[in-house]
A and B are shown apart, each in its own frame.
Chain A
Amino acid sequence: MDQFLQQVVNGLSLGSIYALIALGYTMVYGIIKLINFAHGDIYMLGAYIGFAAVTIGGLGFFPALIAAMVLCALIGILTERIAYKPLRNSPRITLLITAIGISFFMEYAMMYFVGANVRAFPDVLPKTQYRLGSVVINLQQIAIIVTTIVLMVVLQFIVHKTKIGKAMRAVSADRDAAELMGIKVDQTISATFAIGSALAGAAGVLVGIFYNSINPLMGMMPGLKAFVAAVFGGIGIIPGAMIGGISIGVIETMVSGYGSSMYKDAVVFAILILVLIFKPSGLLGKNVREKV
């Protein structure tokens, strides 16, 4: 039982990171129907920006987190403007291939500039451990979970209570109708990319303090898994991404804790395939009939 609770705590912190990345996937998919393959690499860039802010800028945890979020938001807007905007009316396959190209560009440009070696993320938070009964929680895990909760509350506020959130929901429901109602679609899409990328940037910094190591290809696997999380929860649905992310994190930790850590990635992909086959709309999604 104790081991189980410990795995749950570990799973929650890993799941929080997946959830933050999955939110960006799901928001972008909801608004322009693009699987933004480069999203996992924005998360990697976030980790490097945090790393630079801490080692070169000498900043603490919170300023580094904010810096990573702001810069990632800018990078997100920039990629959308340069690569995705000219293709807005192209077939989705073209967009998907472009996204893969952007993803490789970020990975290998980063590798070219900073080198392929793994870097140790400095300890910005003290390594304090707390005991709740027999379950051990360290400060890093608390920071991850608390930051994630705060960001999700802020996100819910933005999406449901602000004008830009309303615009985002409108564009995702029907882009043409939204445009006719006077909503600036381009601006709204940029805002979506900015928010999604900022969340990924935050996840990058959080994973840096959690695992203490970063490298230019670190975004690939978590990016794919976060996508699985978004599909699991129902792509395009924000609470779905949160639930999906946390479930995938917990499932993955359970598989490595009780089964074999070698197969944890295979289990995640198997879940993806099962979800796609049996309920492609995800846990919270509704079935939409295809119109001819």
Chain B
Amino acid sequence: MEIRQMRKRNTVIALILMIGSFALIQALIMGGVIRSYQQVTLATICINIILAVGLNLVTGFTGQFSLGHAGFMAIGAYACAIITLKNGSVAGFLLGILAGAVLATVFGILIGIPTLRLKGDYLAIATLGFAEIIRIFAQNLTITGGAAGLNGIPKFTNWPWLWAFTCLSILLVNAFIHSSHGRACIAIREDEIAAEAMGINTTKYKVMAFAIGAFFAGIGGALYASTFYILKPTTFGFMKSIDILMIVVLGGMGSITGSVIAAVVLAVITTALQSFSELRMVLYAVMLVAIMLFRPQGLMGDRELPLPSEWKNRRKKQPQSAAE
């Protein structure tokens, strides 16, 4: 088949998957099969997909190890909560999401510029430190409600909103990865020094990926605030960052479909083990170690399900591997 036909076919598949998932779940909600209890899981899945796709761009595609995703999520969540508490309309909700995402992006750039000079585990620790600082401020400022947090945040999220934001995030990140900027990011992951030698401004692209990751973390956080109508600073601790990282690692670093699948799988496991919280964490930990020992590339590696333009890559790769 021609490459162009392939791409066309894959675009169609992606569209069918997206519209199909929307229609199916909407029908299940209207038919009363998915009750409000399962809707919480559904919301968690969508929020986690948004967060994981953003982190995957930073960690999986650009190769910059961040342990501070929860910090950006906290910024988005608090910004949205504060705005919707003042203005409880749909306009306020959308403004809150926008404000949360933009504020998180600004922090992403501010934090990214100094820390992205660091490499590997130093970067991980520095981002962790920043996330902890953000959490400690959330815990002590009056505007964020201190240690008690904020509650009574108006709830706007429902399935259509969550679906729209999730699809939008996936499509935007996918488009970014397949743009020349995205290619530059992947080049940095593969070999930073070689990428620099090829004329790629590594700092610029690393900060760009970091800022985009923070942007989506902001959106995820804002949706979180609106879904659970209560925010506590302890929610956004180190554990939350690990939760998101876990999704990225399990799905495969550098695979968006992997992140989506892992977000669904983990949410289902979490819901099933709801009543054994400690055992759930033990299982989580064992799973994390086992994945690293036996399948460090995660479920999907860096492959994708047939999404647009992915086939093109695989075609390109084949002659290369034959040459090796």
Which stretch in A1-9, A54-62, A123-131, A260-268 binds the other chain? A260-268
A263 engages B140 (CB within 8 Å): yes
Smallest beta-carbon distance B48→chain A, Å: 18
B242 engages A93 (CB within 8 Å): no
Residues of the A chain whose Cβ atoms lie less than 8 Å from the Cβ of B120: 92-93
B104 within 8 A of A: no
A95, A100, A107, A262: residue with the most chain B Cβ atoms closer than 10 Å = A100
- Known A-B contacts A265-B132, A266-B137; the reply to A277 vs B288 at CB < 8 A is no
A287 within 8 A of B: no
Residues of the B chain whose Cβ atoms lie less than 8 Å from the Cβ of A98: 288-289, 292-293
Residues of the A chain whose Cβ atoms lie less than 8 Å from the Cβ of B114: 273, 277
Residues of the A chain whose Cβ atoms lie less than 8 Å from the Cβ of B140: 260, 262-263
B117 engages A277 (CB within 8 Å): yes
B17 within 8 A of A: no
B249 within 8 A of A: yes
Docked complex: A76-127 residues within 8 A CB-CB of B: 83, 86-87, 90-98, 100-105, 107-109, 111-112, 116
Residues of the A chain whose Cβ atoms lie less than 8 Å from the Cβ of B249: 97
- Known A-B contacts A104-B285, A108-B285; the reply to A280 vs B118 at CB < 8 A is yes
Which stretch in B35-43, B80-88, B254-262, B274-282 binds the other chain? B274-282
B173 within 8 A of A: no
- Known A-B contacts A93-B65, A94-B296, A111-B278; the reply to A102 vs B289 at CB < 8 A is yes
- Known A-B contacts A101-B288, A102-B285, A224-B128; the reply to A92 vs B121 at CB < 8 A is yes
What per-residue 1/0 map shows which CB atoms of A244-283 lie under 8 Å from chain B? 0000000000000000101101100110110011001000
Residues of the B chain whose Cβ atoms lie less than 8 Å from the Cβ of A152: none
A273 engages B139 (CB within 8 Å): no
A262 engages B125 (CB within 8 Å): no
In the complex, A236 Cα to B261 Cα: how many Å?
Answer: 40
A69 within 8 A of B: no
A105 engages B122 (CB within 8 Å): no
A151 within 8 A of B: no
In the complex, A270 Cα to B118 Cα: how many Å?
Answer: 15
A292 within 8 A of B: yes
- Known A-B contacts A112-B282, A266-B133, A269-B132; the reply to A97 vs B292 at CB < 8 A is yes
A94 engages B115 (CB within 8 Å): no
B245 engages A276 (CB within 8 Å): no
- Known A-B contacts A94-B296, A102-B289, A227-B125; the reply to A273 vs B282 at CB < 8 A is no
Smallest beta-carbon distance B96→chain A, Å: 26
A243 within 8 A of B: no
In the complex, A260 Cα to B136 Cα: how many Å?
Answer: 12
A158 within 8 A of B: no
Residue of A nearest to B279 (CB): A112
A159 within 8 A of B: no
B118 CB contact (under 8 Å) in A108, A116, A263, A276: A276
Docked complex: B122-141 residues within 8 A CB-CB of A: 122, 124-126, 128-130, 132-133, 136-137, 139-140
A272 engages B125 (CB within 8 Å): yes
Residues of the A chain whose Cβ atoms lie less than 8 Å from the Cβ of B132: 224, 265-266, 269
A273 engages B288 (CB within 8 Å): no
Residues of the B chain whose Cβ atoms lie less than 8 Å from the Cβ of A93: 65, 120-121
B238 within 8 A of A: yes
A263 CB contact (under 8 Å) in B136, B245, B279, B292: B136
Residues of the B chain whose Cβ atoms lie less than 8 Å from the Cβ of A102: 285, 289
Given A105-B285, A266-B133, 11 more A-B residue pairs with CB atoms under 8 Å apart are A86-B293, A92-B120, A94-B296, A96-B65, A98-B292, A105-B289, A112-B279, A266-B132, A269-B129, A273-B114, A276-B126
Query: CB within 8 Å of B: which residues of A?
Result: 35, 83, 86-87, 90-98, 100-105, 107-109, 111-112, 116, 220, 224, 227-228, 231, 260, 262-263, 265-266, 269-270, 272-273, 276-277, 280, 292
**Those 8 A-B pairs whose CB atoms lie nearest each other, nearest first:** A101-B288, A105-B285, A108-B281, A104-B285, A269-B129, A101-B289, A266-B136, A112-B278
